[in-house]
C-alpha cells in the first residue's frame, strides 16, 4: 500500500508503526455552522482510506476532532444571543447527521477541544519548561525560531516567510519575540468562554488542540495525520513544532492532504456566493451521490463541483445500483447447478477486475481508477448474468460488488420504500389497460406516477418502479 506523504513529497510504502494497527488523526471541522461540501471532501476521502485499510485487515484507530472553541463560534453565539456551547453542540449534532448521510463512519473517537483543556495546559507548560514557549503578559507564544526543523512540512523557511510581501505582524501582538511566533494560549475578552491558567484566564490557540488530542488518543508518534491541503501551513506545521518539541519524538509518519473542492473553478467562498452546505445538496440528492462524485477524482487533484457534474454522478451511480438490483433478482431464482465453462471463464475476468480495483487503491487510494473497475464489473455482470445463471455465479458477482462498493462507502442497494396502496392499484390498473391495449390510459397513469416521483420500468419480469 502506497501513500503520498506531503512530508517527503513522494509516494511511500505504508508501514504501520505497530504491525496490523493504524493510528490515524484527521483534522475535523470547526462547528460554527452546517458543514459545507468542502468540509465533506476530507471526511469522505479519509473515511475511504480507513475502509480500505480495514478491508485489508488493519485495525484503524481513527480519531477526528471537533473544534468547539474558536472566534467563529463565539461570533455566531453573539449574533444569536446564545452561548458558544449551544452553537457548537447544535452543529456537532448536525454534522454527525450529514456524515451519516454520506455514509462516513463515526471515528473511533471524536474528541472536543473544550474537554481537553487540561492536556493543553500541560503541554503548554511543558513547552515553556523546555524553552519552546514563553509567556508575554498572559499570552503564551511558541518560540518558532527555536524549533530548527520549522517549515519541513510546507517546505518554507522562516527567512522566506518574513521576506514575503504580506505583513505577518498583526495588531496587538507586539509582545511577540518574533513575528513568526504563534499563539498557544490567549487571554479572554469580555463574554468569551475561558478557563483559568497560571498565565491568564483564557482559551487555547487553535494548533495546540490537535497536538494534544492526537497525543492523548493515539500516542506521541502516530502513523497518519490527514486534512485539507490548506492546513499544511500553518496548522500542521505548527502541530509538528509543538508535538516534536514537547515529546522529543517524530510526530506523524505520513502526512496526507486532500486538494480543494472548487465551484466553477473558483474557490468556494461566501463572498462569491458559491457556497453550498452538505444540507443544501441533500435536499436535491441522496448524499451517496455526493460521496460518489467526490471519489470520482483522485483526492490530491482539485475537484470542480457543479450541478451538471452532480447529475452526471447521479446517473453513473444509478447504473451501478440498477445492476445490483437485478443481481438481487437473479439471486432470488437460486438455480442450483455447477458453474458452466463460460461462467468459470467470466469469473476469471471478474478476478482480474478485482485485482485492478485493489491495485488502484494500493496506489495512494486512486478511487477514480477503482471506480472504473467497478463499472467494468457492472458491465460484465449486466452482459453475462441472466435467468439461467447458476446461483454460485450470481453470488460471486453480488458478493464482490457489495464488498468493493462498501470500501468506497457506497450503499449497494436502493432504499426500499413502502409503496402505498393507491399507487399499487394504479400500477395494476395500468397493467390491465396495457393488456387491453388501452395505451392512452396506461400512459396517463405512468405520467401521474411520474409526477409523484415514481418511475416505472416494464421488464420481462414485470413492472418495476423506483423513486427518482
Partner RNA sequence: GGCGACAUGGCCAAGUGGUAAGGCACGGGUCUGCAACACCCUCAUCCCCGGUUCAAAUCCGGGUGUCGCCUCCA
Please, which of residues 34-73 interact with RNA by CB under 7 A?
36, 38-39, 41-42, 71-72
Residue 201 binds to RNA (criterion: CB under 7 A)? no
Instruction: Name the strand (E) or helix (H) holding 466.
Output: strand 462-467
Pick from 231, 212, 241: which is nearest to 111 by CA?
212
Stretch that binds RNA, among 16-24, 343-351, 414-422, 436-444 (CB under 7 A): 436-444
Contact between residue 383 and residue 28 where contact means Cβ atoms under 8 Å apart: no
Q: Minimal distance in Å, beta carbon 438 to RNA?
A: 9
| Only segment of 47-55, 102-110, 304-312, 419-427 that touches RNA (CB under 7 A) | 304-312
**Is the Cβ of residue 55 or residue 260 nearer to RNA in the bound state?**
260
Residue from 80, 417, 458, 461 that binds RNA (CB under 7 A)? Answer: 458
* Residues 85, 75 contacting (CB under 8 angstroms): no
* Stretch of residues binding RNA (CB under 7 A), selected from 90-98, 187-195, 343-351, 358-366: 358-366
Nearer to RNA, 379 or 425 (CB): 379
Q: According to CB under 7 A, which one of 55, 195, 260, 276 is a site residue for RNA?
A: 260
307 binds RNA (CB under 7 A): no
Q: Of the two residues 125 and 444, which places its CB atom closer to RNA in the complex?
A: 444
Q: Residues 278, 298, 390, 426: which binds RNA (CB under 7 A)? A: 298
Q: Does residue 296 belong to the site contacting RNA (CB under 7 A)?
A: yes
Total number of residues that touch RNA (CB under 7 A): 79
State the Cα angle at 111 between 205 and 298, rounded to 5°.
90
93: DSSP letter: H
DSSP bridge pairs for 459: 462
30 contributes a contact to RNA by CB under 7 A: yes
Minimum distance, C-beta of residue 295 to RNA, in the bound complex (Å):
10
- The verdict on 319 binding RNA (CB under 7 A) reads yes
3-state secondary structure of 421: helix
**DSSP, res 409:** T
Of 92-100, 312-320, 407-415, 419-427, the segment contacting RNA by CB under 7 A is 312-320
The answer to whether residue 318 forms part of the interface with RNA (CB under 7 A) is: yes
CB of 306 to RNA, least distance (A): 8
How does DSSP assign 152-203, residue by residue?
Answer: TTTT--HHHHHHSSS----TT-TT-SSTT-EEEEEE--TT---B--SS-SEE
Grid cell 518554507 in the structure block, residue: 156
* Residues 209 to 238 in contact with RNA, rule: CB under 7 A: 227-235
**d(Cα 416, Cα 436) in Å, to the nearest integer?**
30
Picking from 403, 412, 409, 407, the residue whose alpha carbon sits closest to that of residue 322 is: 412
Q: For residue 171, what is its C-alpha cell?
A: 495588531
In the complex, what is the shortest distance from the CB of residue 198 to RNA, in angstroms, rounded to a whole number?
25
Of 92, 136, 158, 268, the residue at the interface with RNA (CB under 7 A) is: 268
Gap between the Cα atoms of 136 and 158, Å rounded: 22
| Shortest Cβ 216–RNA spacing (Å) | 20
Smallest gap, in angstroms, from Cβ of residue 411 to RNA? Answer: 17
Place of cell 496526507: 256
- Which one, 16 or 140, has the nearer CB to RNA? 140
Q: In the bound complex, what is the minimum distance in angstroms from residue 194's beta carbon to RNA?
A: 19
**Candidate list 80, 351, 455, 467; residue touching RNA; CB under 7 A:** 455
Q: Quickly count: other Cβ atoms within 10 Å of residue 410's Cβ.
A: 23
One DSSP character per residue, 37-92 reads HHHHHHHHHHHHHHHHHHHTT-EEEEEE-BB--SHHHHHHHHHHTS-HHHHHHHHH
Q: 464 is written with which cell numbers? A: 418495476
Q: Which of 58, 133, 252, 297 binds RNA (CB under 7 A)?
A: 297
If one asks whether residue 429 binds RNA (CB under 7 A), the answer comes out as no
- Nearest approach in angstroms of CB 379 to RNA is 5
Task: Figure out which of the listed residues 12, 363, 395, 406 binds RNA, where binding follows CB under 7 A.
Answer: 363
The residue (of 103 and 360) whose beta carbon lies closer to RNA is: 360
Residue 316 binds RNA (CB under 7 A): yes
Burial of 49 (0-12, 13-18, 19+ CB in 10 A): buried
Tell me, residue by residue from 154 to 193, as one string, x for binding to RNA by CB under 7 A and - for no binding: xxx---xx-xxxx-x-------------------------
| Interacting positions 373-392 with RNA (CB under 7 A) | 375-376, 378-379, 382-383
Which residues in 36-46 are b (16+ Cβ under 10 Å) and which e? bbbbbbbbbbb
Half-sphere exposure for 457 (CA within 13 Å, toward CB): 10
Query: Does residue 111 touch RNA according to CB under 7 A?
Result: no
- In the bound state with RNA, the residue whose beta carbon lies nearer, of 16 and 205, is 205
Residue pair 1/202 in contact (Cβ under 8 Å)? The answer is no
Only one of the segments 96-104, 117-125, 190-198, 293-301 lies at the binding site for RNA (rule: CB under 7 A); that segment is 293-301
Amino acid at each position: 500500500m502506497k501513500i503520498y506523504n506531503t512530508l517527503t513529497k513522494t509516494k511511500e510504502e505504508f508501514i504501520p508503526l505497530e504491525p496490523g494497527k493504524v493510528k490515524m488523526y484527521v483534522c475535523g471541522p470547526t462547528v460554527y455552522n452546517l458543514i459545507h461540501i468542502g468540509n465533506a471532501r476530507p471526511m469522505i476521502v479519509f473515511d475511504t482510506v480507513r475502509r480500505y485499510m480495514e478491508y485489508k485487515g488493519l485495525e484503524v484507530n481513527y480519531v477526528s476532532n471537533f473544534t468547539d472553541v474558536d472566534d467563529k463560534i463565539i461570533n455566531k453565539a453573539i449574533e444569536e444571543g446564545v452561548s458558544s456551547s449551544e452553537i457548537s453542540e447544535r452543529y456537532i449534532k448536525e454534522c454527525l447527521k450529514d456524515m451519516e448521510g454520506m455514509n462516513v463512519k463515526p471515528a473511533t473517537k471524536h474528541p472536543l477541544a473544550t474537554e481537553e483543556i487540561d492536556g493543553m495546559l500541560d503541554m503548554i507548560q511543558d513547552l515553556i519548561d523546555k524553552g519552546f514557549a514563553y509567556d508575554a503578559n498572559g499570552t503564551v507564544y511558541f518560540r518558532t525560531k527555536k524549533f530548527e526543523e520549522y517549515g519541513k512540512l510546507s517546505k518554507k523557511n522562516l527567512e522566506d516567510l518574513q521576506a514575503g510581501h504580506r505583513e505577518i505582524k498583526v495588531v496587538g501582538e507586539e509582545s511577540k519575540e518574533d513575528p513568526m511566533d504563534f499563539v498557544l494560549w490567549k487571554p479572554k475578552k469580555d463574554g468569551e468562554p475561558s478557563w483559568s491558567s497560571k498565565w491568564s484566564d483564557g482559551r487555547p490557540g487553535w494548533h495546540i488542540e490537535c497536538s494534544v488530542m492526537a497525543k492523548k488518543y493515539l500516542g506521541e508518534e502516530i502513523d497518519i495525520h490527514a486534512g485539507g491541503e490548506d492546513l499544511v501551513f500553518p496548522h500542521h506545521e505548527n502541530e509538528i513544532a509543538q508535538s516534536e518539541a514537547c515529546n522529543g519524538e517524530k510526530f506523524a509518519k505520513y502526512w496526507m492532504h486532500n486538494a480543494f473542492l472548487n465551484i466553477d473553478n473558483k474557490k468556494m467562498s461566501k463572498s462569491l456566493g458559491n457556497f453550498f452546505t452538505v444540507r443544501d445538496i441533500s435536499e436535491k440528492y441522496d448524499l451517496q451521490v455526493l460521496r460518489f462524485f467526490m471519489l470520482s477524482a483522485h483526492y490530491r487533484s482539485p475537484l470542480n463541483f457543479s450541478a451538471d457534474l452532480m447529475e452526471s454522478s447521479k446517473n453513473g451511480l444509478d447504473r451501478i445500483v440498477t445492476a445490483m438490483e437485478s443481481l438481487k433478482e437473479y439471486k432470488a431464482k437460486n438455480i442450483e447447478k455447477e458453474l458452466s465453462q463460460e461462467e468459470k471463464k467470466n469469473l476469471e475476468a471478474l478476478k482480474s477486475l478485482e485485482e485492478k480495483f485493489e491495485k488502484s487503491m494500493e496506489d495512494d487510494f486512486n478511487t477514480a481508477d477503482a471506480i472504473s473497475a467497478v463499472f467494468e464489473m457492472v458491465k460484465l455482470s449486466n452482459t453475462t448474468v441472466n435467468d439461467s445463471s447458476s446461483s454460485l455465479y450470481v453470488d460471486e458477482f453480488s458478493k464482490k460488488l457489495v464488498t468493493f462498493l462498501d470500501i468506497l462507502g457506497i450503499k449497494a442497494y436502493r432504499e426500499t420504500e413502502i409503496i402505498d396502496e393507491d399507487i399499487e392499484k394504479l400500477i395494476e390498473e395500468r397493467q390491465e389497460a396495457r393488456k387491453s391495449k388501452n395505451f392512452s390510459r396506461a400512459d396517463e397513469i405512468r405520467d401521474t406516477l411520474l409526477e409523484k416521483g415514481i418511475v416505472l420500468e416494464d421488464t420481462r419480469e414485470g413492472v418495476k418502479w423506483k423513486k427518482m
